Amino acid sequence: MGLFDRKNNHSDKAENQEGGSEKKEVQFPFLTILVDEVLSMTSTEVSVIGNVRGGTLTEGDELYLLGRKNKSVKTRAVRIEDALMSKMQKAEEGTNVSVVLEGLRQGDVEKFDVLSSVNCIASDTDTPDTPVNPFLSGLLREAKGRREDTDREYMGRVMEYIATEAVFLTPCMHADGKNSGSGNIGVVLLKGKDQKNYLAVFTDIHELEIMEGMPEHTIQPMDFGMIMNYISKGPIFGLLINPKSEGFVMTKSFLELLANHKRKVDNNLKEQKIDPKQPMLLAVPKEGNMPDELFGALRSYMETEPSILRAWYALMIFPQDNDRKAHLIIVDTLEETPELFGAIGRAAREHVDGMQINMQSASKVGKMTEKMMLFYERKDDLKV
């Protein structure tokens, strides 16, 4: 079940005996440093700047550089400096430091990667012996000191990871009685200061265990899709991550916006404003080169959707990007919603020949449709 899927003890022991991944005991709270800036030192060393969280960093400490898509690289803190570039033997919790990392180059490290004393579960070596997500923990530990309106790059990285890769731990209770079973699972809801219900999720076992008054429960891994399934069906106002430490809150309305964005990404959609100054050409394919399968799939869907009145097509060609091509669909519709554009994208997905498909509402592109091909027009008696 992803990041937190754990085998039983016998399986773990057998795997170790056969030369599999080594299990390492996790000491809570573990150390993390969110990379705020990357500085190149030499061909084999790189320096990063960030705040020490969760423990004390000592010169020579073994660390893991963690990032998206299960990135995990073993390294070592060969030098620690404070804000005045004075060398330090140790850096306590909350200290802003520069850390020189052994064996890494500047291209190996990205802004908002995380240095951690604990490796990620998905790594082939040095895997933790208990469910833990140090990359997400490192991201969230900085949340209280940042404002959404002034640090959008950071918040965007957190939101992206939660929606696409993060897996949480959730305490669940099976329903009592004869209907108890795999389909009858209760989740823990906590009341916020606003007295509304929030779904409680945790990044690791420690965060769950420090909660007081928890009922008897089993632990269920939960990704973003499962979270949205629960929130959409129950009286739940939002998501509360690590209630006793970070207390990171995401409201239901924000989660729904995030889910809509994720659907666009999953459907290979990009809703963009057409910039007349952008180095881009529009072209209509010649007879014999028309994307007939794409047109057929789109027409079949549009005929079932009465709010779509007309649709135009053109190829977007980007001369400064090796003449890269993309599909452009302009839709004249009575209802401009992410769900509608997402449905059009799903209808087109199997027929785009590996190219990106861009869509926009006719109300936002002015006279651009005059240069495009009208491939769909509603034929009923609808008046507007």
Q: What is the CATH number of the domain that holds 40?
A: 2.40.30.10
CATH number at residue 156: 3.40.1350
Indicate whether 4 belongs to any domain: no
Indicate whether 357 belongs to any domain: yes
Per-residue pLDDT, 213 = 74
- 260 and 276 together in one domain: no
Q: Is the CB of residue 91 less than 8 Å from the CB of residue 77? A: no
CATH number at residue 349: 3.30.460
- 310 and 223 together in one domain: no
Indicate whether 147 belongs to any domain: no
d(CA 358, CA 273): 10
Indicate whether 2 belongs to any domain: no
Per-residue pLDDT, 4 = 42
Per-residue pLDDT, 262 = 74
Q: Could you tell me the two tokens for 222?
A: 């939960």
Q: Which of 217, 242, 265 is the last residue of a domain?
A: 265
Tally of domains within the chain = 3
**Smallest Cα–Cα separation from 338: which of 359, 356, 311, 365?**
359
Q: Which of 265, 283, 315 is the last residue of a domain?
A: 265
Instruction: Please give the chain's pLDDT, 384 residues, in tens.
Output: 334 433 333 334 334 444 445 677 778 889 999 999 998 766 677 999 999 999 999 999 999 999 988 899 999 999 999 988 899 999 999 999 999 999 888 788 999 999 999 998 777 777 777 888 999 999 999 887 776 555 778 888 888 889 888 999 988 875 554 444 445 567 888 888 889 999 999 998 889 888 877 766 788 889 999 999 888 888 899 999 999 988 899 999 989 888 877 776 665 544 444 455 556 788 888 888 899 999 999 999 999 988 898 999 999 888 777 778 899 999 998 877 778 888 898 899 889 888 889 899 888 887 888 889 999 998 754 333
Indicate whether 301 belongs to any domain: yes
- 41 and 112 together in one domain: yes
In order of 41, 56, 109, 227, the CA distances from 45 in angstroms are 5, 22, 11, 41
List strand residue ranges (DSSP E) for 57-133, in order.
Answer: 57-58, 62-67, 71-81, 87-88, 90-91, 96-102, 114-116, 127-128
- 277 and 372 together in one domain: yes
d(CA 24, CA 30): 13
Per-residue pLDDT, 265 = 61
- 247 and 301 together in one domain: no
Per-residue pLDDT, 11 = 39
- 255 and 276 together in one domain: no
Q: Is the CB of residue 169 less than 8 Å from the CB of residue 221? A: yes
- 287 and 260 together in one domain: no
Range(s) of the domain holding residue 282: 271-377
The answer, yes or no, to whether the previous bond of 243 is cis (omega within 30 of 0) is: no
Contacts of 180 (CB under 8 A, 6+ apart): 174
Dihedral sign for Cα 229, 232, 234, 237, please: positive
**Smallest Cα–Cα separation from 53: which of 72, 73, 70, 29?**
29
- 292 and 373 together in one domain: yes
Indicate whether 210 belongs to any domain: yes
- 74 and 134 together in one domain: yes
Per-residue pLDDT, 208 = 87
- 33 and 103 together in one domain: yes
Indicate whether 168 belongs to any domain: yes
- 282 and 228 together in one domain: no
Indicate whether 333 belongs to any domain: yes
For the entire predicted model, the pTM comes to 0.63
- 59 and 165 together in one domain: no
Q: Which of 231, 265, 299 is the last residue of a domain?
A: 265
Per-residue pLDDT, 277 = 53
Q: Is the CB of residue 141 less than 8 Å from the CB of residue 126? A: no
